[in-house]
Homo-oligomer: A and B are copies of this chain.
Amino acid sequence: MSPKITSELLKQLRQVMKSPKYVQEPVQAYIVPSGDAHQSEYIAPCDCRRAFISGFDGSAGTAIVTEQHAAMWTDGRYFLQAAHQMDNNWTLMKMGLKDTPTQEDWLVSVLPEGSKVGVDPFIIPADQWKRMSKALRSAGHDLVPVKENLIDTIWTDCPQRPCKPLITLDLSYTGVSWRDKIVALRSKMAERKVLWFVVTALDEVAWLFNLRGSDVEYNPVFFAYAVIGMNTIRLFIDGDRMMDPAVREHLQLDSTLEPEFKIQVMPYGSILSELQAVGASLSPKEKVWLSDKASYALTEAIPKAYRYLTPYTPICIAKAVKNASETEGMRRAHIKDAVALCELFNWLEKEVPKGTVTEIIAADKAEEFRSQQKDFVELSFATISSTGPNGAIIHYKPVPETNRTLSVNEIYLLDSGAQYKDGTTDVTRTMHFGTPSAYEKECFTYVLKGHIAVSAAIFPNGTKGHLLDSFARSALWDCGLDYLHGTGHGVGSFLNVHEGPCGISYKTFADEPLEAGMIVSDEPGYYEDGSFGIRIENVVLVIPAETKYNFKNRGSLTFEPLTLVPIQTKMIDVNLLTQKEWAWVNDYHQKCREVIGAELERQGRHEALRWLIRETEPLVRVQ
A467 and B478 alpha carbons, distance in the complex (Å): 15
Asked whether A479 and B509 contact (CB < 8 A) given A467-B469, A470-B468, A470-B470, the answer is no
Q: Closest Cβ of chain B: how far from A204's Cβ, in Å?
A: 27
CB contacts (< 8 Å) of A478 on chain B: these are 458, 547
Q: Is A129 an interface residue (CB 8 A)?
A: no
A549 vs B550: C-alpha distance when bound (angstroms):
40
A106 CB within 8 Å of chain B: no
Known contacts A470-B467, A470-B468, A474-B457; A481 and B578 CB within 8 A of each other: no
Chain B contacts for A468, CB-based, 8 A: 470
Are A556 and B477 neighbours in the complex by a CB distance under 8 Å? yes
A162 close to chain B: CB less than 8 A: no
Q: Which residues of B contact A554 (CB under 8 A)?
A: 482
Q: A480 touches which one: B479, B481, B548, B578 (CB < 8 A)? A: B548
Q: How near does chain B come to A541, taking the closest CB pair, in angstroms?
A: 19
A245 to B396 CA separation, bound complex (whole angstroms): 70
Mark each residue of chain A from 535 to 555: 1 if its CB lies under 8 Å from any CB of chain B, else 0.
000000000010111111010
- Residues from chain B with a CB closer than 8 A to the CB of A481 are 549, 551
Answer whether residue A209 sits at the interface, using C-beta atoms and an 8 A cutoff: no
Q: For residue A548, which residues in chain B have a CB less than 8 angstroms away from its CB? A: 479-480
For A236, the chain B residues whose CB sits under 8 A away are none
Of all chain B residues, the one with the shortest Cβ separation from A556 is: B480
Q: Which residues of B contact A458 (CB under 8 A)?
A: 477-478, 480
Please name the residue on chain B nearest to A527 by beta carbon: B551
Which chain B positions have C-beta within 8 A of A474?
457, 471
Which residues 499-547 of A have a CB within 8 angstroms of B?
506, 509, 545, 547
Task: Given the known inter-chain contacts A509-B509, A578-B578, please indicate yes or no for A549 contacting B471, CB distance below 8 A.
Answer: no
From B460, B469, B477, B506, give the contact of A477 (CB < 8 A).
B460
Closest to A549 in B: B480
Query: A345: CB under 8 A from chain B?
Result: no
**A459 at interface (Cβ–Cβ under 8 A)?**
yes
Distance in angstroms from A524 CB to nearest chain B CB is: 13
**A window 456-495: CB within 8 A of B:** 457-460, 467-471, 474, 476-482
Q: Report Cα–Cα, A552/B528, bound state, in Å.
A: 9
Q: Are A547 and B471 in contact (CB under 8 A)?
A: no
Evaluate whether A547 and B467 lie within 8 angstroms (CB atoms) in the complex, with A457-B474, A509-B509 already known.
no
User: Distance in Å from the Cβ of A139 to the closest Cβ of chain B?
Assistant: 12
Q: Does B549 lie within 8 Å of A479, measured CB to CB?
A: yes
Distance to closest chain B CB from A4 (angstroms): 33
Q: Which residues of B contact A506 (CB under 8 A)?
A: 467
* Alpha-carbon gap, A470 to B471, bound state (A): 8
Q: Chain B CB within 10 Å — which of A469, A545, A549 has the most?
A: A549
Which chain A residues in 568-584 approach chain B with CB under 8 Å? 578
In whole angstroms, what is the CA distance A480 to B482 when docked? 29
Please report the C-alpha to C-alpha distance between residue A412 and residue B578 in the assembled complex, in whole angstroms.
35
Binding site for B on A (CB under 8 A): 457-460, 467-471, 474, 476-482, 506, 509, 545, 547-552, 554, 556, 578
15 contacts across the A-B interface (CB closer than 8 A)? A458-B477, A458-B478, A458-B480, A459-B477, A460-B477, A470-B471, A476-B551, A477-B556, A479-B549, A480-B547, A480-B548, A480-B549, A481-B551, A482-B554, A509-B509
Contacts A467-B469, A477-B556, A478-B547 known; list 20 others, CB within 8 Å. A457-B474, A457-B477, A458-B477, A459-B470, A460-B477, A460-B480, A460-B482, A467-B470, A467-B506, A471-B474, A479-B547, A479-B548, A480-B548, A480-B556, A481-B549, A481-B551, A482-B551, A482-B552, A482-B554, A578-B578
